[in-house]
Chains A and B, each alone.
Chain A
Amino acid sequence: MSEKVKDLRGTRLSAADLESKDTITFRGRPNAKYAWSAGIAYTKYLEELKNGRIVGRRCRQCDRVLVPPRMFCEQCFRATDEWVYIKGTGKINTYSISYLDADANRIKTPILVAVVDLDGASPGIGILHKLGNVDIEKIHVGMPVQAVWKPANERKGSVTDILYFEPIKEK
């Protein structure tokens, strides 16, 4: 704001003002429904999750194994070459502890969120998922974790077929 300008505009409304009869407002929700196609790569990814397996794609040019899989490599800008099965184990790349739900409501039991770098994928290739069966105090970057799957008959071909990742017990 310039010191030359004296007149700063805008009319503040409080939450209570919104309910006043002389604050004219209109409410609505877009009535739009969607069916998003998973396409080629994600259809296979979801099918294999239903089978209890994680699948990625290899690009032979940059020699990366990509998860989630895609039919083209965004770095080399060419078609990827083959499907590669990835272990359901990995290491925590980073994590957070969420006291907010998706609508920013406060929640008592936090959601544990992590990016997990998967064993068998290229270094730094991770997926977003949740952590479970873990002591919050002990979570750390680099912690070895493994996927905990839903029972086979409850899987439906979704990223939620993995319930969460849990720490691998040290032997």
Chain B
Amino acid sequence: MAYDKIRDPRRIMHVEGDMEVDYIYTAGIAGERFFVALRDKEKLVATHCDKCNHTFMPPRMYCDRCFAELSNWIELPPTGAIASYTITHEDNNGERLPEPIVLAFIEIEKTDGALIHQIGEVKPGALKIGMRVQAVFKKKSERTGALTDIRYFKPA
């Protein structure tokens, strides 16, 4: 095959660019109830499917098992138990953090759901799977209706 070759890789031209697109995402029907309650009441909102006896937290407007629309909204205190955790020593860019961060998979009590969040006020050595934790919130004036309205979870 009479195929041209470029033997010097420096000769291959490049064009540089990025994905120059900005987004605004709505939290949706269920997401909005969840974040407003978090911001205004320090509560977690869940939905319960009576047929499947399953509690969705964060809430969904439908059950993904039986596909029923859910109207049974529940407010819960922001407490749970550590189901798994990891300790990260690096930030998003791979730079060393001054202090390691503990990230946990927190199963929320009385639900079948969980949140990923930071754990604070505990030495890494004292962490245990099964440890009960509760949310520590930002000051009301600093909250925006986001998961970061919770600063971290601490041992309950």
Segment from B14-22, B74-82, B127-135 that makes contact with A:
B14-22
Q: A24-B27, A81-B2 are in contact. Are A29 and B22 (CB under 8 A)?
A: yes
Inter-chain contact A37/B12, CB cutoff 8 Å: yes
Q: How many residues of A contact B (CB 8 A)?
A: 33
29 sampled A-B residue pairs with Cβ under 8 A: A13-B26, A23-B26, A23-B32, A26-B27, A26-B146, A27-B24, A29-B19, A29-B20, A29-B21, A29-B23, A30-B19, A30-B21, A34-B16, A34-B18, A34-B19, A35-B14, A36-B17, A37-B12, A37-B14, A38-B12, A38-B15, A39-B12, A40-B5, A42-B13, A47-B13, A79-B1, A79-B2, A79-B3, A158-B15
Partner-B contacts on A (CB < 8 A): 11, 13, 18, 21-30, 32-40, 42-44, 46-47, 71, 79, 81-82, 157-158
Which residues in A have their C-beta under 8 angstroms from that of B11? 43, 47
Q: With both chains docked as a complex, state the minimum distance between the C-beta of B47 and any C-beta of chain A, in angstroms.
A: 16
Inter-chain contact A43/B24, CB cutoff 8 Å: no
Q: With both chains docked as a complex, state the minimum distance between the C-beta of B112 and any C-beta of chain A, in angstroms.
A: 23
- Nearest chain-A residue to B5 (Cβ)? A40
Inter-chain contact A25/B12, CB cutoff 8 Å: no
Q: With both chains docked as a complex, state the minimum distance between the C-beta of A17 and any C-beta of chain B, in angstroms.
A: 10
Inter-chain residue pair count (beta carbon < 8 A): 85
Inter-chain contact B14/A24, CB cutoff 8 Å: no
Which residues in A have their C-beta under 8 angstroms from that of B25? 25-28
Main secondary structure of the interface of A (DSSP, over half): mixed
B116-156: which residues lie under 8 A (CB-CB) from chain A?
Answer: 145-146
Inter-chain contact A46/B13, CB cutoff 8 Å: yes
Q: With both chains docked as a complex, state the minimum distance between the C-beta of A5 and any C-beta of chain B, in angstroms.
A: 15
Q: Does B56 contact A (CB under 8 A)?
A: no
Q: With both chains docked as a complex, state the minimum distance between the C-beta of A66 and any C-beta of chain B, in angstroms.
A: 14
Which residues in B have their C-beta under 8 angstroms from that of A18? 24, 26
Q: A24-B35, A24-B36, A28-B23 are in contact. Are A43 and B12 (CB under 8 A)?
A: yes
Which 4 A-B pairs give the minimum distances between C-beta atoms?
A: A24-B27, A38-B13, A24-B35, A24-B145
